[in-house]
Structures are given as structure tokens and as C-alpha cells.
Amino acid sequence: MLKTNNWILGVTGGIGAGKTAITAHLQQKGVVVVDADVVAREVVAIGSSGLQAIVDEFGSDILLADGNLDRAKLRTIIFADEQKKQWLNALLHPLIRNALLAQLSAAQSDYVILSAPLLFENGLERYCDATLLIDVAVETQITRTTSRDEVDTEQVERIIAAQMPRAEKQEKADYILDNDRPLAQSLLAADKLHDEFLNLAKEKLIINN
């Protein structure tokens, strides 16, 4: 567990589950959201040590014309070469983890959300007081993602297959929010959970003080 007075809620969900919509709703209530995807981009931003290490390993061809990382090219390389994938993970995982922990510790709100699509896969739940799974059927994931992104069904199925199975995430999560329904209903359910999380955060604060 991360040593902080902040009560931390880990929020996760597979691709197309609607995790962002739920966390954005809670953010509007004043809850700080630390997003693992955002942090993953920050640690390889222009001028970062992470980006320089990648350039040293893969060459300057891995950069776009504006100096940013060419993520599509890097993704193609590491999917084709397991050793390069392991090298990249060994570089990025500690950078991302350290940045996440720093932001979680510094956050100032009644409780803090750690939003991560691979929360359980990367063992990030150990830094959380509780976890919430935004849950939908696999068919819904495919439908939403193919209509939102420029990807076909086969690509989405591969992404889903690479993530932890839905049933396993359901077993691991402390709370599950069914998002396989109209968004307005899901947001009402999120509001009820929010009230519960506020109470749990207050309890932790009292105990620690």
C-alpha cells in the first residue's frame, strides 16, 4: 500500500467499457483523477529521459517530424520482437509507476482515483484502498470500440484477448459498476458509489489522525 493519507480508488475496465465517462463524471465532483494512460505519455514526452532512452535504443527514425514519439511505429516493432518489448517494458514500467505514485501522493481531494486499463495486470491495485471495475459484455466492447475508433472487429478482439479475462477482473474487483445500460443510469450508480467512497475516505483520515 502507498503510504499516504489519501484514500485511493483504482478504476479499471476493458477497452470500450466506458471507464473514461465514469471517471470524468467523478472528476466533475472534485475528485482528482490520476490517469495511467496520460502518465504513460508524459514519461516519453519531448525532452524526457524516457524518450531519449528510446531514441538511443531504436534510433531517431522512431520520432515523428515534430520530435514526438511515433507510437504506431514503436508498437509495430515491439509486437514483432519480444526482446525489444521486454526492454521497453523494463524502461517504462518503473518510470510510469514512480510518476503515478508521486501524483497520487500529491493529489488533494476527498479521495483520489487511479485510472488504469491494466490495473490488475500491472499489479497497481496494491496501491489502492479499493478497486472499481467498469463492466460491460465483450460484445458491447467490440461494438463501442469499432464505432468509436478506426479499428475492425478482429483488432478489437485481439486487444481484448491480450487483457485479463472479464470474469477474472470481476473476481478481483471490490466494486463493479454495470455500464451495459444507458449512460444516465450508470452515472446515477456512480453517484451512489461516490457517496460510499467519501465515507470510506473519511474513515481512513480519522484512523490516520
H, E, C per residue of 9-36: EEEECCCCCCHHHHHHHHHCCCCEEEEH
- CATH code of the domain occupying 7-31+112-203: 3.40.50.300
Copy the grid coordinates of residue 184: 444516465
Q: Using the predicted structure, report yes or no on whether residue 155 has a pLDDT greater than 90.
A: no
Which residue has 470510506 as its cell numbers? 200
**3-class secondary-structure state, position 65:** coil
Q: Quick one: pLDDT band at residue 2, thresholds 50, 70, 90?
A: low
pTM, two decimal places: 0.90
Q: Using the predicted structure, report yes or no on whether residue 1 has a pLDDT greater than 70.
A: no
Was 16 annotated as part of a binding site? yes
Q: Are 156 and 14 in contact (CB under 8 A)?
A: no
The mean pLDDT of 2-27, rounded to a whole number, is 91
pLDDT tens per residue across span 76-121: 898 889 999 999 999 999 999 999 999 999 999 999 999 999 999 9
Q: Are 96 and 39 in contact (CB under 8 A)?
A: yes
Was 21 annotated as part of a binding site? yes
pLDDT for the residue 151:
81
Q: Quick one: pLDDT band at residue 3, thresholds 50, 70, 90?
A: low
Q: Round the average pLDDT of the chain to a whole number and report it.
A: 93
Q: Using the predicted structure, report yes or no on whether residue 4 has a pLDDT greater than 80.
A: no
Distance CA 168, CA 173 (A): 9
pLDDT for the residue 80:
86
**3-class secondary-structure state, position 111:** coil
**Degrees (nearest 5) of the Cα angle 114, 187, 132?**
35
Q: Tally the residues of the chain.
A: 209
Backbone angles phi, psi at 180, to 5 degrees: -95, 55
Q: Are 107 and 9 in contact (CB under 8 A)?
A: no
Partnered with residue 131 across adjacent β-strands are 10
Distance CA 141, CA 156 (A): 8
Was 20 annotated as part of a binding site? yes
pLDDT tens per residue across span 47-79: 999 999 999 999 999 999 999 999 989 988 988
The mean pLDDT of 120-129, rounded to a whole number, is 94
Q: Are 14 and 117 in contact (CB under 8 A)?
A: yes
Was 19 annotated as part of a binding site? yes
Percent of the chain having pLDDT more than 90? 84
Q: Using the predicted structure, report yes or no on whether residue 187 has a pLDDT greater than 90.
A: yes
Partnered with residue 178 across adjacent β-strands are 135
